[in-house]
Amino acid sequence: MTPSRNTLGWMYEKMVASRHFEELIEKIYMEGKTPVFNMANGPIPGEMHLSNGQEPVAVGVCAHLTPDDIVTATHRPHHQAIAKGVDLKKMAAEIFGKATGLSGGRGGHMHIFDAEVNFACSGIIAQGMGPAAGAALSRKLQGKPGVAVSFIGEGAANQGAFHETLNLAAVWKLPMIVVVEDNAWGISVAKEASTAIQCNADRAAAYGIPGHYIPGNDPLKIYEVAGEAIARARRGEGPTLIEVETYRLAGHFMGDAEGYRPDGEKDALFAKDPIPNLRRLLVSDHGFTEAELDEIEDKARAEIEEAIAFARQSPDPKPEDALTAVFA
């Protein structure tokens, strides 16, 4: 399965948009947090988890999805939110805690919900798998279109929810795909120190479903494998488990000193940055010109900067609205 030229351009655009979004967020996040780091200070309080380097996973999968399809993501969700089509202005405003945000500024960056495109995320490890299975079950029982994709980190594959959900998804042949983003680190714990099996995709065999491992953070290979899995789910043939080797170019969270990484690891990862790698491939193998790609980048960056400006200028929530949508 080879992406069309338009799809390749879309994939590059969303990868650039995600990276530029996070570069701006990273800079703004540190405002007011120096010289002594305090995550409560500045225009974006709280924790911040960046997905720089993991963009290929989002675009390779989401290129096959429609607004009817459901995505659940993790505490590191920006690349998937952007690839799924979440409203950029409202998402930025939510991260800034503004009244114009997707949830009125109540959720922040780990709790992004956009019902218009069926996107949700959570800060709890493996939490999104159960809701994704429920959404897939509802689609199947009601005969409605749509598949569910649950993105998780490799550490989540050791949670009970991972195994319970895959078991039921297989029993009920749900239209569901579980995508494991293996960035090699569960916070500061190396995968080999926490996980008994080298490849989580091998665990698919325990549930009688297909399992695929994709090395090298390759967006085109991800596109190919995800396309087959999503088509299989749409045919009613049940779930698929996919694990992708990807790279976390930043720390686990903003402020992470990353002392756990071996010397030279980050330099080696930046040398494999997927965005310039894809750009070179689009020119050498797919007939794109440098001018075309510059235009795509300019468009993506302009949209992100407009969204950030909207968030900056939006009003704070009113104190009297603090209990709105709170259920007793």
Q: Which two tokens stand for residue 223?
A: 């596109």
From the candidates 75, 139, 212, 248, which is the catalytic residue?
A: 248
Residue 286 burial by Cβ neighbours in a 10 Å radius (0-12, 13-18, 19+): middle
Distance from C-alpha of 293 to C-alpha of 250, rounded to nearest angstrom: 25
DSSP state of 77: -
108-122 burial code (b ≥16 CB/10 A, e <16): bbbbbbbeebbbbbb
Question: Is residue 33 within 8 Å of 81, Cβ to Cβ?
Answer: no
Instruction: Please give the angle made by the CA atoms of 132, 135 and 139, to the nearest 5 degrees.
Output: 140
DSSP state of 121: E
From the candidates 260, 261, 286, 301, which is the catalytic residue?
A: 260
Distance from C-alpha of 48 to C-alpha of 26, rounded to nearest angstrom: 8
> Residue 326: helix, strand or coil by DSSP?
coil
From the candidates 78, 109, 232, 252, which is the catalytic residue?
A: 252
Q: Which residues contact 281 (CB under 8 A, 6 or more apart)?
A: 220
Residue 317 burial by Cβ neighbours in a 10 Å radius (0-12, 13-18, 19+): middle
Question: Is residue 29 within 8 Å of 254, Cβ to Cβ?
Answer: yes
**Does 248 participate in catalysis according to the annotation?**
yes
CA nearest to 155, candidates 201, 189, 204: 189
Distance from C-alpha of 251 to C-alpha of 242, rounded to nearest angstrom: 24
Q: Which residues are catalytic?
A: 248, 252, 260
